[in-house]
Chains A and B, each alone.
Chain A
Amino acid sequence: KAGVTQTPRYLIKTRGQQVTLSCSPISGHRSVSWYQQTPGQGLQFLFEYFSETQRNKGNFPGRFSGRQFSNSRSEMNVSTLELGDSALYLCASSLAGRVGQPQHFGDGTRLSIL
């Protein structure tokens, strides 16, 4: 069974640009969550999607948005990029998104802002 796939693995952007990251969950998983990982703040929850609806959102500005498609694939968009957005962005999927269900992580997209 294929794991969570994130593309691209690496991205370099400049300030002010926007970026879209993609996540394909494990087959059959309907919940997709996104996390930001930085050396200073650690791992922080961005948002979670289930059945194409955002169910939960962390404490991030509106520049961070996402969506989920009918096949459960998800995209995350960051607009007006800032230097502080440089991070590893991790996607995780779980079967039905119930509390406590284990989340399975992809290898992440490393985003660097110049």
Chain B
Amino acid sequence: AQSVTQPDIHITVSEGASLELRCNYSYGATPYLFWYVQSPGQGLQLLLKYFSGDTLVQGIKGFEAEFKRSQSSFNLRKPSVHWSDAAEYFCAVTYSGGGADGLTFGKGTHLIIQP
């Protein structure tokens, strides 16, 4: 069964500092990878997605992620965080195989921004 691991439950970063959130997925022939963000009391907003091609993908709000097949990783990065980035971040995966299989999510990483 497909799975996603986000090793860090909580991460605290100072405002203006760089950020990297880790994500590892179980092996699959052609993974489709996503990062979502969830603010309290709200649904999930798509930050970026990777299907194929360039392994460095750009998303909204200044986020980027790098796909590394050899490490089964899809880490999310941001050069300089803002207080408004405080939220829960979820990595998700699905695989090719026909139809729209549900996304498998990681447990999430709670990002805290220090002033």
Are chains A and B native binding partners rather than an unrelated pairing? yes
Q: Which 5 A-B pairs have the closest CB atoms?
A: A45-B102, A100-B32, A97-B100, A105-B43, A43-B105
Residues of chain B with a CB closer than 8 A to A90's CB: 43-44
Is the C-beta of B94 less than 8 angstroms from some C-beta in chain A? Answer: yes
Most buried by A among B36, B46, B100: B100
Residue B51 at the A interface, CB < 8 A? Answer: yes
Q: Which of A33, A47, A90, A102 has the most CB of B within 10 A?
A: A102
Interface residues of A (CB under 8 A from B): 4, 6, 31, 33, 35, 42-48, 50, 55-56, 58, 90, 92, 94, 97-108
Task: Give bound CA distance, A46 to B104, whole Å.
Answer: 11
Taking Cβ atoms with an 8 Å cutoff, the residues of B that contact A are 32, 34, 36, 41-46, 49, 51, 90, 92, 94-108
Chain B nearest Cβ from A45, distance in angstroms: 3
Please list 18 pairs of residues, one from A and one from B, whose beta carbons are closer than 8 Å in the complex, sorted by A's number.
A31-B100, A42-B105, A43-B103, A43-B105, A45-B104, A46-B102, A48-B101, A56-B101, A58-B102, A99-B99, A100-B49, A100-B51, A100-B96, A102-B34, A102-B46, A103-B46, A105-B36, A105-B43
